[in-house]
Amino acid sequence: MGQMSEVDLRAATRPFTPPVPTTATPPPRRGPEFLVGEEAARARSFGLIIAQLCLLVLGCVPCLGQTWPLDLAVAVALLGLGGMSIACAIYAWRLGRYPLSLFRLHGLVAVLAAAVIQYYLGVFSPTAVAVALGLAFFGQGNDGPTAWGIGIGAAGSYSLLAVLLTAGVLDDRGVFAAVGAPLAGKVFMAAVVPVVMLLTVAQARANRRATRALVAQVAEATRQAEGEAARHREVAKELDAVRLAGARQPGRWTGLSLGAVTLGGVIGRGATGEVYAGFDEHGNANVAVKVLRPGLASDQVTLARFEREGKIAEGLTSPHVVRVHAWGRADDGTPYIVMERAMGDDLAAVLRDSPRLPEGEVLRMLSESAHALAEAHQWGVVHRDIKPSNLMLAQEGGRTRWKLLDFGVATITGADSTVTSAGDVVGTPNYMSPEQARGDDIDERSDLYSLGAVAYRALTGRVPHDAPTPVATLLRIAEGRPRSPRSLAPGLSPAMGDLLALMLAPERELRVQSAGELRALIDEIRAGQTMDVRRRAARALAQSAWAA
């Protein structure tokens, strides 16, 4: 149990929103992913329709009374367009995609075939209506320049044919030839039909923009809903501990004197201990005293961890660690730790009030926490339980400072066999490193992963890995990366995404290697020098990409 702040007491009186039930349903498709699938679905439908129309017209060609060269030319055009369309439909159906290269080839074939078919059936006939229908499909493509290129190609080829026929350069040999039609009518068709084609593309592009905007709104609403659900689950996990918090009421050891310190009321409770306000001889409540719960002193593992917390923290001098002034046992043998009474909110409480923190504040939290970890790691101490409730935004003389709390489950590398057996999993599942989740040996890089997981939570509103049970969460962590933080928080800068990619690398050798290195990378990002973190993140993501 770590240092309890004043916010823990206030949390007990806050309104509580029941957690959102979790299900095993897969996440909905979002943004660009949804649009890729939507375009593939349209390609399947359009391809099948065009292929059937081509076959229908091809079957009628022998009955239309044209010359065999024209029949051959239109047959080639119909077979080419129909074959291309059915190929696109099959590709989109089997792979669920309609790639840009295929979209462009399909559009080129359609423009060429349309010109031949229009000349065959009659440039001034209603055949142009079918071309406009085709442009309504191509105009909604994901690639705007290609869509406009196809529209301009179709309108341009029609204009060219219409002008050549009107000027008498070409003979009008269409099935529905405009022989004898007034010149004004031909000029009207030559001018209006291309405009209608281009307006069809413009309307299709407008529809596409509206679809993109709607999908973006739905994706953002989904992200917010998922973030709220994750937040509710996180609050629910902490609720039992929060409800145990006292309201400065007397406790079992209230009034106990530990040298110059007298214990007052309970200011916090946890699974293994109680925290009391500590008063000096002048009545000033300037320290906090953590006391092991009755009955746990006989538990050798709990006792060893409690006393080790005091021993470890007492030797740390970083201003970003809650200082321990003394530790030992009372006259009745009860273990206690006298520590700095840091006033402020832990990160868990901050995130309950505001699900996301600004990027600059997260960088500050990372840098100041890394300062604390650098000293701990220098002495071979691995914290093992970095999570939001173990990071406090302490108030100190009109300014705030992030402090690292609770070394109760920390390990001293090479000297921990009596407290933790090989294969034991110690820590908080949502913030564990992959090696910690597997029960492997850990080092300082495990703390850096956990700190990255805390930053991920603070920036996106969601923990990196979440599942209905702790075991399922550990399996997800061991399997690989979480979803890209920028897919959950689109406003996140590329440099911040790259830093998280390094901190959350499943492979330890690709991760940030030390707390000092982390601080150096943060300084580079603040200075706008992002090439190093970008290059290293690209290498880490090439080894293990973000989850879909």
Catalytic positions are 385
Picking from 462, 470, 459, 437, the residue whose alpha carbon sits closest to that of residue 547 is 462
The residue written with tokens 């200075």 in the block is: 527
| DSSP assignment letter at 439 | T
Half-sphere exposure of 516 (CA within 13 A, CB side): 5
Which two tokens mark 208? 């596409």
Cβ(338)–Cβ(278) under 8 Å? Answer: yes
The residue written with tokens 């909110």 in the block is: 345
Which two tokens mark 320? 């970003």
CA distance linking residue 17 with residue 11, whole number of Å:
12
Alpha helices in 244-346 (DSSP H): 300-314
Which two tokens mark 203? 């309307």
Q: How many CB atoms lie within 10 A of CB 284?
A: 9
CA distance linking residue 175 with residue 357, whole number of Å:
69
Is the sign of the CA dihedral 245, 323, 354, 492 positive or negative?
negative
CA distance linking residue 503 with residue 514, whole number of Å:
10
Q: How many CB atoms lie within 10 A of CB 376?
A: 24
Is the sign of the CA dihedral 477, 479, 480, 486 positive or negative?
negative
Q: Is 242 helix (H, G, I), strand (E, B) or coil?
A: helix
From the number of C-beta atoms within 10 Å of its C-beta (0-12, 13-18, 19+), residue 116 rates as: buried
Instruction: Report the length, in residues, of the chain.
Output: 548
Cβ within 8 Å of residue 337, ≥6 positions away: 289, 290, 306, 309, 310, 313, 324, 326, 327
Cβ within 8 Å of residue 469, ≥6 positions away: none
Question: What φ, ψ does residue 195 adopt, rounded to 5°?
Answer: -65, -45
CA distance linking residue 495 with residue 300, whole number of Å:
46
Cβ(401)–Cβ(322) under 8 Å? Answer: no
